[in-house]
Amino acid sequence: MAAAGGDKPLAEASPSPLSRVLRISQLDAFELDGALEQLVWSQFARCFQHFKPGLLTPAEPELKALLQLLLWRFTVYSNSATVGQTLLNVRYRNALIPGQKYRPMSRQQKLWFALLTVGSKWLRERSHSLFLLGRPADAGIQKARGTLAVLSGLAKAASLFNFLLFLQSGTFPTLTERLLGVQPVFSRPQGPRDINFQYVNRELLWHGFAEFLIFLLPLVNTWKLKSSLSALFSLSDKTKGSADAETAGRTECAICEEWPTMPHSIGCTHVFCYYCIKSHTMADIFFTCPKCSAESTSIQPVKLQIELTEMHPS
């Protein structure tokens, strides 16, 4: 009796499968479904990458609809749940039948679900070229376009109003679910999730450290630090006093290490491309040479002299 009495509060504490699903979980399921559709379409299109370009373009809306129907057949039609809902342990129930017992979607609800989701996407993608077969000046074509535009506007307004209701009540995130009377619920009881003090303390610590780095890193002059370290560990002019080292220092830019374009100097023995030295001195008024750490006094043009040695046959 004591054991039974002790188990009863635990059973009552755990949420039932028909408990309300969080709003963020319902929206995350839609994001996962959209990512899966994009992945399936990209893999399908990759099979035709070596064919003639634009081969799938004329029938792209129909092919996407067929792939979405294939996903619907093995997800909603079989298990009353999309792929995203399955990953989050959520599934649809028939909200038209009251009661605490789980009721799956009826066959009519599943068929209307496919028509309102897959069919609406196909019509939205095909509507741009659906009436192009007739003459643009035809009154029937113009009337059909106007009617379709009005219906599309009304559907968007109704979807927006339904989403506002969803934010308030937390049920029926899409207009299709509200019209069909299907509601997402947990597929199995969800146990309580405990967050201990150590986890919260660690998260707060790393969050504060990340905010500190975001504030500190823009204040660090990385170019200045890099040039100082390069001059400290460089063995260019201080250890090599030969003419070859001096010539090499005046025939390549000290910043990009390429042949200097419009060579300029800042007062030391090294040369720089005009755009390299100009952009760096504009960004840092205390710019120093990355090779010898010499401070920039003034930017002066340099004329490079190239000596060509002619080889005469003996």
| pLDDT confidence tier of residue 92, bands split at 50, 70 and 90 | very high
What residues does 92 pair with on adjacent strands?
184
Task: Give the residues across from 263 on adjacent strands.
Answer: none
Q: Which range has the worst mean pLDDT, 29-33, 164-168, 297-301, 309-313?
A: 309-313
Q: Is the pLDDT of residue 161 over 90?
A: yes
List the domain boundaries for the chain.
12-186, 222-301
Q: Under 8 Å CB-to-CB from 48, ≥6 apart: which residues?
A: 55, 56
Separation CA 314–CA 304 (nearest Å)? 31
Query: What tokens appear for 19 in the block?
Result: 């408990």
pLDDT in tens, 35-54: 999 999 999 988 988 888 88
The reported pLDDT for the residue numbered 3 is 43
| Confidence label for 313 from pLDDT (cuts 50, 70 and 90) | very low
Dist. CA 256–CA 264, nearest whole Å: 13
Band the pLDDT of 133: cuts 50, 70, 90: low
Digit-coded pLDDT (tens) for 109-130: 999 999 999 998 898 888 777 6
pTM for this model (two decimals): 0.56
State the pLDDT at residue 179. 92
CATH topology of domain 222-301: Herpes Virus-1 (3.30.40)
CA distance 152 to 124: 9
Nearest residue to 36 (alpha-carbon basis) of 87, 79, 78, 77: 87
pLDDT value of position 276: 87
CB 91 within 8 A of CB 105: no
Q: Is the dihedral of CA 12, 18, 20, 25 positive or negative?
A: positive
